[in-house]
Structure 1
Amino acid sequence: MKSLYEKFVILFMFLILGFTIVLQFRNDVEDYSFVSLKTMSDLNGAINKEREEIGNLRGLIASQENKLKEYQRALEEDGSIKEVLSNEINTMKLISGFMDVEGPGIIIKLSDSERELYEGERPDDLVVHDGDVLTILNDLKVAGAEVLSINGQRFLNTSEVKCTGPTITINNYSYGQPFVIRAIGDPQTLDAAIKAPDSYALGLTEIYGLNVESYTSDKVRISKYRGDIAFKYIKPMEGE
Protein backbone atom coordinates (compact mmCIF):
# COMPACT_ATOMS: atom_id res chain seq x y z
CA MET A 1 0.00 0.00 0.00
CA LYS A 2 2.83 2.31 0.89
CA SER A 3 4.54 1.51 -2.37
CA LEU A 4 1.42 2.43 -4.33
CA TYR A 5 1.13 5.71 -2.44
CA GLU A 6 4.74 6.60 -3.16
CA LYS A 7 4.24 5.85 -6.85
CA PHE A 8 1.20 8.11 -6.90
CA VAL A 9 3.13 10.95 -5.25
CA ILE A 10 6.02 10.58 -7.70
CA LEU A 11 3.61 10.55 -10.65
CA PHE A 12 1.88 13.66 -9.35
CA MET A 13 5.22 15.44 -8.94
CA PHE A 14 6.20 14.59 -12.51
CA LEU A 15 2.86 15.94 -13.76
CA ILE A 16 3.44 19.21 -11.90
CA LEU A 17 6.99 19.42 -13.27
CA GLY A 18 5.81 18.76 -16.83
CA PHE A 19 3.07 21.36 -16.55
CA THR A 20 5.60 23.91 -15.25
CA ILE A 21 8.00 23.19 -18.13
CA VAL A 22 5.21 23.64 -20.70
CA LEU A 23 4.20 26.99 -19.19
CA GLN A 24 7.81 28.18 -19.15
CA PHE A 25 8.31 27.13 -22.78
CA ARG A 26 5.20 29.01 -23.88
CA ASN A 27 6.38 32.14 -22.07
CA ASP A 28 9.81 31.88 -23.71
CA VAL A 29 8.26 31.48 -27.17
CA GLU A 30 6.13 34.58 -26.65
CA ASP A 31 9.30 36.57 -25.94
CA TYR A 32 10.62 35.84 -29.46
CA SER A 33 9.34 37.49 -32.66
CA PHE A 34 9.60 35.41 -35.80
CA VAL A 35 11.20 37.11 -38.83
CA SER A 36 9.99 36.31 -42.35
CA LEU A 37 12.33 35.63 -45.26
CA LYS A 38 11.17 38.85 -46.92
CA THR A 39 12.05 40.88 -43.83
CA MET A 40 15.49 39.26 -43.70
CA SER A 41 15.98 40.02 -47.41
CA ASP A 42 14.93 43.65 -46.90
CA LEU A 43 17.29 44.02 -43.95
CA ASN A 44 20.13 42.49 -45.93
CA GLY A 45 19.44 44.89 -48.80
CA ALA A 46 19.43 47.85 -46.41
CA ILE A 47 22.74 46.73 -44.90
CA ASN A 48 24.33 46.37 -48.34
CA LYS A 49 23.03 49.81 -49.32
CA GLU A 50 24.55 51.34 -46.20
CA ARG A 51 27.85 49.59 -46.90
CA GLU A 52 27.82 50.95 -50.45
CA GLU A 53 27.09 54.45 -49.15
CA ILE A 54 29.96 54.15 -46.67
CA GLY A 55 32.25 53.07 -49.50
CA ASN A 56 31.16 56.05 -51.60
CA LEU A 57 31.76 58.43 -48.70
CA ARG A 58 35.21 56.97 -48.12
CA GLY A 59 35.99 57.45 -51.80
CA LEU A 60 34.75 61.05 -51.63
CA ILE A 61 36.86 61.72 -48.53
CA ALA A 62 39.94 60.26 -50.22
CA SER A 63 39.28 62.38 -53.33
CA GLN A 64 38.92 65.56 -51.28
CA GLU A 65 42.05 64.74 -49.28
CA ASN A 66 44.01 64.30 -52.52
CA LYS A 67 42.63 67.60 -53.81
CA LEU A 68 43.64 69.32 -50.56
CA LYS A 69 47.16 67.91 -50.88
CA GLU A 70 47.29 69.21 -54.45
CA TYR A 71 46.27 72.68 -53.25
CA GLN A 72 48.91 72.59 -50.51
CA ARG A 73 51.58 71.45 -52.98
CA ALA A 74 50.66 74.26 -55.38
CA LEU A 75 50.84 76.83 -52.59
CA GLU A 76 54.24 75.56 -51.45
CA GLU A 77 55.71 75.45 -54.97
CA ASP A 78 54.04 78.40 -56.72
CA GLY A 79 52.41 80.36 -53.93
CA SER A 80 49.04 80.12 -55.74
CA ILE A 81 46.37 77.55 -56.60
CA LYS A 82 45.26 79.42 -59.72
CA GLU A 83 46.68 76.80 -62.10
CA VAL A 84 45.09 73.94 -60.15
CA LEU A 85 41.68 75.63 -60.23
CA SER A 86 42.10 76.36 -63.95
CA ASN A 87 42.79 72.66 -64.60
CA GLU A 88 39.67 71.71 -62.63
CA ILE A 89 37.56 74.14 -64.65
CA ASN A 90 38.90 72.69 -67.90
CA THR A 91 38.14 69.18 -66.66
CA MET A 92 34.55 70.18 -65.87
CA LYS A 93 34.23 71.79 -69.31
CA LEU A 94 35.53 68.60 -70.91
CA ILE A 95 33.05 66.42 -69.02
CA SER A 96 30.05 68.71 -69.52
CA GLY A 97 30.63 69.26 -73.25
CA PHE A 98 31.74 72.90 -73.20
CA MET A 99 35.13 72.24 -74.79
CA ASP A 100 36.23 71.30 -78.30
CA VAL A 101 37.66 67.78 -78.28
CA GLU A 102 39.37 65.33 -80.58
CA GLY A 103 40.35 61.68 -80.51
CA PRO A 104 40.08 58.38 -82.38
CA GLY A 105 36.63 57.31 -83.45
CA ILE A 106 34.20 57.00 -86.32
CA ILE A 107 32.28 59.24 -88.73
CA ILE A 108 28.91 58.07 -90.08
CA LYS A 109 26.80 59.64 -92.83
CA LEU A 110 23.08 58.82 -93.13
CA SER A 111 20.85 59.73 -96.05
CA ASP A 112 17.53 58.67 -97.56
CA SER A 113 17.20 55.69 -99.86
CA GLU A 114 17.28 56.31 -103.61
CA ARG A 115 15.64 53.07 -104.74
CA GLU A 116 12.05 52.60 -105.92
CA LEU A 117 9.32 51.63 -103.47
CA TYR A 118 8.58 47.91 -103.17
CA GLU A 119 5.03 46.66 -102.98
CA GLY A 120 3.55 47.36 -99.55
CA GLU A 121 6.14 49.99 -98.64
CA ARG A 122 5.41 53.61 -97.81
CA PRO A 123 7.52 56.60 -98.87
CA ASP A 124 8.38 57.19 -95.20
CA ASP A 125 10.06 53.77 -95.07
CA LEU A 126 12.86 55.04 -97.31
CA VAL A 127 13.52 58.20 -95.27
CA VAL A 128 15.89 58.68 -92.33
CA HIS A 129 13.86 59.46 -89.19
CA ASP A 130 14.79 60.77 -85.76
CA GLY A 131 14.25 57.29 -84.35
CA ASP A 132 16.90 55.92 -86.72
CA VAL A 133 19.41 58.54 -85.61
CA LEU A 134 18.64 57.99 -81.92
CA THR A 135 19.00 54.22 -82.23
CA ILE A 136 22.39 54.54 -83.92
CA LEU A 137 23.49 57.05 -81.27
CA ASN A 138 22.47 54.60 -78.56
CA ASP A 139 24.33 51.74 -80.28
CA LEU A 140 27.45 53.90 -80.34
CA LYS A 141 27.05 54.79 -76.65
CA VAL A 142 26.69 51.11 -75.77
CA ALA A 143 29.88 50.48 -77.78
CA GLY A 144 31.74 52.96 -75.58
CA ALA A 145 31.46 56.27 -77.43
CA GLU A 146 32.62 59.02 -75.08
CA VAL A 147 31.51 62.02 -77.14
CA LEU A 148 28.91 62.33 -79.92
CA SER A 149 27.77 65.00 -82.35
CA ILE A 150 25.22 65.30 -85.15
CA ASN A 151 25.91 67.71 -88.01
CA GLY A 152 28.31 69.60 -85.78
CA GLN A 153 25.92 69.81 -82.83
CA ARG A 154 27.29 68.33 -79.61
CA PHE A 155 24.95 65.61 -78.33
CA LEU A 156 24.40 65.86 -74.57
CA ASN A 157 22.04 64.13 -72.16
CA THR A 158 19.77 67.16 -72.47
CA SER A 159 19.86 67.24 -76.30
CA GLU A 160 16.67 66.55 -78.24
CA VAL A 161 16.51 64.83 -81.62
CA LYS A 162 13.18 65.12 -83.42
CA CYS A 163 11.78 65.14 -86.93
CA THR A 164 10.50 68.43 -88.29
CA GLY A 165 9.26 67.59 -91.77
CA PRO A 166 12.17 66.54 -94.00
CA THR A 167 14.69 67.81 -91.44
CA ILE A 168 15.89 66.76 -88.01
CA THR A 169 16.17 69.21 -85.13
CA ILE A 170 18.90 68.93 -82.50
CA ASN A 171 19.67 71.53 -79.85
CA ASN A 172 17.02 73.74 -81.50
CA TYR A 173 18.88 73.72 -84.85
CA SER A 174 17.33 72.03 -87.90
CA TYR A 175 19.35 70.12 -90.49
CA GLY A 176 18.53 68.28 -93.68
CA GLN A 177 20.21 65.13 -94.92
CA PRO A 178 22.82 63.85 -94.98
CA PHE A 179 23.04 63.48 -91.22
CA VAL A 180 26.66 63.20 -90.12
CA ILE A 181 27.34 61.53 -86.77
CA ARG A 182 30.77 61.78 -85.20
CA ALA A 183 31.78 59.62 -82.24
CA ILE A 184 35.00 59.43 -80.23
CA GLY A 185 35.94 56.08 -78.76
CA ASP A 186 37.63 52.84 -79.73
CA PRO A 187 37.40 52.87 -83.57
CA GLN A 188 37.15 49.10 -84.02
CA THR A 189 34.41 48.69 -81.41
CA LEU A 190 32.41 51.61 -82.80
CA ASP A 191 32.81 50.30 -86.34
CA ALA A 192 31.53 46.88 -85.25
CA ALA A 193 28.45 48.52 -83.69
CA ILE A 194 27.59 49.88 -87.14
CA LYS A 195 28.60 47.01 -89.39
CA ALA A 196 27.85 43.91 -87.31
CA PRO A 197 25.39 41.47 -88.99
CA ASP A 198 22.66 42.20 -86.43
CA SER A 199 23.29 45.94 -86.15
CA TYR A 200 20.49 48.46 -86.65
CA ALA A 201 22.50 50.48 -89.16
CA LEU A 202 23.10 47.46 -91.37
CA GLY A 203 19.39 46.66 -91.23
CA LEU A 204 18.56 50.14 -92.53
CA THR A 205 20.77 49.47 -95.54
CA GLU A 206 19.72 45.91 -96.30
CA ILE A 207 15.98 46.26 -95.66
CA TYR A 208 15.15 49.82 -96.69
CA GLY A 209 18.12 50.75 -98.85
CA LEU A 210 19.06 53.77 -96.73
CA ASN A 211 22.57 55.03 -97.33
CA VAL A 212 24.82 54.42 -94.32
CA GLU A 213 28.46 55.27 -94.93
CA SER A 214 31.08 55.09 -92.20
CA TYR A 215 34.82 55.19 -91.74
CA THR A 216 37.15 55.23 -88.77
CA SER A 217 39.73 57.91 -88.08
CA ASP A 218 42.58 58.51 -85.66
CA LYS A 219 41.48 62.12 -85.24
CA VAL A 220 37.78 62.86 -85.01
CA ARG A 221 37.06 66.45 -84.02
CA ILE A 222 33.87 67.41 -82.18
CA SER A 223 32.93 70.98 -81.34
CA LYS A 224 31.77 72.12 -77.93
CA TYR A 225 28.13 72.66 -77.01
CA ARG A 226 27.14 76.17 -78.07
CA GLY A 227 23.95 76.64 -76.10
CA ASP A 228 22.93 77.18 -72.50
CA ILE A 229 21.82 74.52 -70.05
CA ALA A 230 19.04 75.60 -67.70
CA PHE A 231 17.42 73.18 -65.27
CA LYS A 232 13.88 74.08 -64.28
CA TYR A 233 12.97 71.32 -61.85
CA ILE A 234 16.06 69.60 -60.45
CA LYS A 235 17.90 70.88 -57.40
CA PRO A 236 20.43 69.45 -54.93
CA MET A 237 18.97 67.15 -52.30
CA GLU A 238 18.68 68.67 -48.85
CA GLY A 239 21.48 67.61 -46.54
CA GLU A 240 23.82 66.71 -49.40
Structure 2
Amino acid sequence: MIFWVSFNTAQGTNIRSDESMLRFSDLIDERSRENRKLESSTAKLRKEVQGLAKRDSGGSAEERKRLSDVERNAGAAKVAGKGLTVTLTDAPSDATAQLPGWPEPEPDYLVIHQQDLQAVVNALWQGGAEGIKVMDQRLISTSAVRCVGNTLILQGQLYSPPYTVTAVGDPEKLKKSLDTNKTIDMYKKYVDAYGLGWKVDEHRSTTLPAYTGAVELHHAEPVE
Protein backbone atom coordinates (compact mmCIF):
# COMPACT_ATOMS: atom_id res chain seq x y z
CA MET A 1 0.00 0.00 0.00
CA ILE A 2 2.87 2.35 0.81
CA PHE A 3 4.39 1.78 -2.63
CA TRP A 4 1.01 2.40 -4.31
CA VAL A 5 0.45 5.68 -2.40
CA SER A 6 3.96 6.86 -3.39
CA PHE A 7 3.34 5.96 -7.03
CA ASN A 8 -0.06 7.67 -7.06
CA THR A 9 1.35 10.81 -5.40
CA ALA A 10 4.41 11.08 -7.64
CA GLN A 11 2.57 10.67 -10.94
CA GLY A 12 5.90 10.10 -12.65
CA THR A 13 7.73 12.95 -10.84
CA ASN A 14 10.48 12.82 -8.23
CA ILE A 15 8.73 13.48 -4.91
CA ARG A 16 12.11 13.57 -3.15
CA SER A 17 13.30 16.58 -5.17
CA ASP A 18 14.59 19.41 -2.96
CA GLU A 19 13.27 21.92 -5.49
CA SER A 20 9.69 20.75 -4.96
CA MET A 21 9.86 21.06 -1.18
CA LEU A 22 9.95 24.48 0.49
CA ARG A 23 11.21 24.30 4.03
CA PHE A 24 9.20 26.17 6.61
CA SER A 25 12.22 28.30 7.53
CA ASP A 26 12.58 29.38 3.89
CA LEU A 27 8.92 30.37 3.83
CA ILE A 28 9.39 32.47 6.97
CA ASP A 29 12.45 34.18 5.48
CA GLU A 30 10.53 34.94 2.29
CA ARG A 31 7.59 36.44 4.18
CA SER A 32 9.98 38.44 6.35
CA ARG A 33 11.62 39.98 3.28
CA GLU A 34 8.21 40.84 1.86
CA ASN A 35 7.22 42.44 5.17
CA ARG A 36 10.36 44.60 5.13
CA LYS A 37 9.60 45.83 1.60
CA LEU A 38 5.98 46.59 2.46
CA GLU A 39 6.96 48.29 5.71
CA SER A 40 9.48 50.49 3.90
CA SER A 41 6.87 51.51 1.34
CA THR A 42 4.29 52.16 4.05
CA ALA A 43 6.75 54.25 6.05
CA LYS A 44 7.41 56.52 3.07
CA LEU A 45 3.70 57.05 2.47
CA ARG A 46 3.02 57.65 6.16
CA LYS A 47 5.82 60.23 6.32
CA GLU A 48 4.35 62.00 3.29
CA VAL A 49 0.89 62.03 4.87
CA GLN A 50 2.26 63.38 8.14
CA GLY A 51 4.11 66.14 6.30
CA LEU A 52 0.97 67.18 4.44
CA ALA A 53 -1.06 67.08 7.65
CA LYS A 54 1.40 69.34 9.45
CA ARG A 55 1.50 71.74 6.50
CA ASP A 56 -2.26 72.08 6.38
CA SER A 57 -3.10 71.86 10.08
CA GLY A 58 -1.95 75.34 11.03
CA GLY A 59 -2.17 75.79 14.78
CA SER A 60 -0.17 77.87 17.21
CA ALA A 61 3.49 77.36 18.08
CA GLU A 62 2.40 75.91 21.43
CA GLU A 63 0.17 73.35 19.72
CA ARG A 64 2.93 72.36 17.30
CA LYS A 65 5.34 71.91 20.23
CA ARG A 66 2.77 69.78 22.05
CA LEU A 67 2.41 67.61 18.95
CA SER A 68 6.19 67.29 18.70
CA ASP A 69 6.41 66.22 22.37
CA VAL A 70 3.68 63.61 21.86
CA GLU A 71 5.46 62.21 18.80
CA ARG A 72 8.72 61.98 20.73
CA ASN A 73 7.12 60.23 23.71
CA ALA A 74 5.26 57.83 21.43
CA GLY A 75 8.42 56.89 19.53
CA ALA A 76 7.20 58.49 16.29
CA ALA A 77 10.19 60.86 16.12
CA LYS A 78 13.93 60.30 16.00
CA VAL A 79 15.80 60.57 19.28
CA ALA A 80 19.53 61.15 19.68
CA GLY A 81 22.01 61.43 22.52
CA LYS A 82 24.28 59.41 24.75
CA GLY A 83 23.44 55.76 25.22
CA LEU A 84 24.60 52.18 24.99
CA THR A 85 24.11 48.94 23.08
CA VAL A 86 23.72 45.50 24.65
CA THR A 87 24.63 42.51 22.47
CA LEU A 88 23.47 38.99 23.33
CA THR A 89 24.89 35.98 21.51
CA ASP A 90 24.19 32.24 21.52
CA ALA A 91 26.87 29.99 22.96
CA PRO A 92 28.78 27.64 20.62
CA SER A 93 26.78 24.48 19.91
CA ASP A 94 29.63 22.33 21.25
CA ALA A 95 30.04 24.33 24.47
CA THR A 96 30.80 22.49 27.70
CA ALA A 97 30.48 23.52 31.34
CA GLN A 98 33.25 25.98 32.20
CA LEU A 99 32.60 26.21 35.94
CA PRO A 100 32.91 23.44 38.53
CA GLY A 101 29.62 22.05 39.80
CA TRP A 102 27.62 23.03 36.69
CA PRO A 103 26.07 20.20 34.62
CA GLU A 104 26.95 19.65 31.00
CA PRO A 105 24.64 21.90 28.95
CA GLU A 106 21.47 20.88 27.19
CA PRO A 107 20.74 22.64 23.86
CA ASP A 108 18.23 24.89 25.63
CA TYR A 109 21.00 26.29 27.84
CA LEU A 110 23.01 27.60 24.89
CA VAL A 111 20.53 29.95 23.19
CA ILE A 112 19.08 33.38 23.91
CA HIS A 113 15.52 33.19 25.24
CA GLN A 114 12.66 35.63 25.12
CA GLN A 115 12.93 36.41 28.83
CA ASP A 116 16.59 37.37 28.36
CA LEU A 117 15.80 39.95 25.69
CA GLN A 118 12.75 41.20 27.58
CA ALA A 119 14.81 41.60 30.75
CA VAL A 120 17.31 43.81 28.92
CA VAL A 121 14.54 45.95 27.43
CA ASN A 122 12.78 46.29 30.82
CA ALA A 123 16.01 47.18 32.61
CA LEU A 124 16.83 49.91 30.07
CA TRP A 125 13.35 51.43 30.45
CA GLN A 126 13.76 51.31 34.22
CA GLY A 127 17.14 53.00 33.83
CA GLY A 128 15.49 56.02 32.24
CA ALA A 129 15.93 55.29 28.53
CA GLU A 130 14.42 57.96 26.30
CA GLY A 131 14.04 55.43 23.48
CA ILE A 132 15.01 51.86 22.63
CA LYS A 133 15.50 49.90 19.44
CA VAL A 134 15.93 46.14 19.11
CA MET A 135 18.00 45.23 16.07
CA ASP A 136 16.94 47.90 13.54
CA GLN A 137 13.43 48.56 14.89
CA ARG A 138 12.27 51.24 17.31
CA LEU A 139 10.11 50.00 20.18
CA ILE A 140 6.84 51.65 21.15
CA SER A 141 4.33 50.91 23.90
CA THR A 142 2.65 48.10 21.93
CA SER A 143 5.86 46.39 20.73
CA ALA A 144 6.18 42.73 21.74
CA VAL A 145 9.54 40.96 21.95
CA ARG A 146 8.78 37.33 21.03
CA CYS A 147 11.14 34.45 20.38
CA VAL A 148 10.23 31.25 18.54
CA GLY A 149 12.98 28.69 18.93
CA ASN A 150 16.24 30.57 18.49
CA THR A 151 14.77 33.35 16.34
CA LEU A 152 13.22 36.69 17.25
CA ILE A 153 9.94 37.88 15.74
CA LEU A 154 9.52 41.61 16.16
CA GLN A 155 6.73 43.61 14.51
CA GLY A 156 6.37 41.15 11.65
CA GLN A 157 10.07 40.68 10.93
CA LEU A 158 12.36 37.75 11.71
CA TYR A 159 15.85 38.03 13.23
CA SER A 160 18.58 35.61 14.24
CA PRO A 161 21.25 36.12 16.92
CA PRO A 162 23.35 37.98 17.80
CA TYR A 163 20.68 40.36 19.10
CA THR A 164 21.37 44.03 19.75
CA VAL A 165 19.39 46.36 22.01
CA THR A 166 20.28 50.06 21.80
CA ALA A 167 19.02 52.75 24.18
CA VAL A 168 19.40 56.52 24.37
CA GLY A 169 19.83 57.81 27.91
CA ASP A 170 22.33 58.35 30.72
CA PRO A 171 24.86 55.50 30.24
CA GLU A 172 25.67 55.23 33.94
CA LYS A 173 22.02 54.93 34.97
CA LEU A 174 21.36 52.44 32.18
CA LYS A 175 24.32 50.26 33.18
CA LYS A 176 23.33 50.40 36.85
CA SER A 177 19.83 49.22 35.96
CA LEU A 178 21.28 46.34 33.90
CA ASP A 179 23.59 45.36 36.76
CA THR A 180 20.77 45.20 39.34
CA ASN A 181 18.29 43.20 37.26
CA LYS A 182 17.82 39.68 38.70
CA THR A 183 16.97 38.02 35.39
CA ILE A 184 20.05 39.50 33.75
CA ASP A 185 22.14 38.40 36.73
CA MET A 186 21.00 34.80 36.12
CA TYR A 187 21.77 35.16 32.41
CA LYS A 188 25.31 36.30 33.26
CA LYS A 189 25.79 33.10 35.28
CA TYR A 190 25.09 31.16 32.09
CA VAL A 191 27.53 33.46 30.29
CA ASP A 192 30.27 32.37 32.69
CA ALA A 193 29.21 28.72 32.76
CA TYR A 194 28.50 28.00 29.10
CA GLY A 195 29.87 30.86 27.01
CA LEU A 196 26.74 32.78 26.08
CA GLY A 197 27.59 36.25 24.76
CA TRP A 198 27.11 39.46 26.76
CA LYS A 199 28.59 42.78 25.67
CA VAL A 200 27.77 46.39 26.60
CA ASP A 201 29.11 49.21 24.40
CA GLU A 202 28.73 52.83 25.48
CA HIS A 203 28.03 55.58 22.92
CA ARG A 204 28.87 59.25 23.19
CA SER A 205 26.18 59.85 20.60
CA THR A 206 23.69 57.56 18.90
CA THR A 207 20.46 58.08 16.98
CA LEU A 208 17.36 55.91 17.10
CA PRO A 209 15.02 55.99 14.09
CA ALA A 210 11.38 56.92 14.44
CA TYR A 211 8.87 54.11 14.57
CA THR A 212 7.24 53.85 11.16
CA GLY A 213 4.86 50.92 11.54
CA ALA A 214 1.13 50.84 12.07
CA VAL A 215 -0.24 52.04 15.42
CA GLU A 216 -3.85 50.94 15.09
CA LEU A 217 -4.91 48.39 17.71
CA HIS A 218 -6.90 45.34 16.62
CA HIS A 219 -8.94 43.07 18.83
CA ALA A 220 -11.02 39.94 18.48
CA GLU A 221 -14.74 39.63 19.13
CA PRO A 222 -16.70 36.47 19.87
CA VAL A 223 -18.93 35.18 17.09
CA GLU A 224 -22.59 35.29 18.04
Q: Same fold (TM over 0.5)?
A: yes
Superposition deviation, residue 153 in structure 1: 0.9
Superposition deviation, residue 173 in structure 1: 1.3
After TM superposition, the score normalised by the length of structure 1 is: 0.58
1:68 maps to none
Say whether the 8 Å CA contact 1:98–1:225 is kept in structure 2: yes
Rounded Cα–Cα distance in structure 2 between residues aligned with 1:88 and 1:204: 46
Superposition deviation, residue 88 in structure 1: 2.0
Say whether the 8 Å CA contact 2:90–2:112 is kept in structure 1: yes
In the alignment of these two chains, the number of paired residues is 154
SS at match of 1:89: helix
Deviates more, 1:122-131 or 1:200-209: 200-209
Alignment of 1:100-115 (within 5 A): 100-114=78-92
Alignment of 1:52-201 (within 5 A): 81-114=59-92, 116-118=95-97, 119-195=103-179, 199-200=184-185
Say whether the 8 Å CA contact 2:74–2:141 is kept in structure 1: no
Rounded Cα–Cα distance in structure 2 between residues aligned with 1:191 and 1:204: 19
What is the alpha-carbon root mean square deviation over aligned residues?
2.3
Say whether the 8 Å CA contact 2:95–2:194 is kept in structure 1: no
Alignment of 1:190-229 (within 5 A): 190-195=174-179, 199-200=184-185, 202-229=188-215
Provide Cα deviations, 1:171-230, integer angstroms capped at 9, x if missing partner: 121111111100112101212333469653533422442111111112121111121111
The AA in structure 1 aligned to 2:95 is E
Superposition deviation, residue 146 in structure 1: 2.3
Unaligned runs of 5+ in 1: 1-79, 234-240
Change (3 A) 1:137 1:221: same
Identity of aligned residues (%): 24
* Greater percentage in helix: 1
Determine which structure has more spread, i.e. the larger CA radius of gyration.
Answer: 1
Say whether the 8 Å CA contact 1:196–1:202 is kept in structure 2: no
Higher relative CO (Cα under 8 Å, sequence separation at least 6) belongs to 2
Change (3 A) 1:191 1:141: same
The AA in structure 2 aligned to 1:192 is K
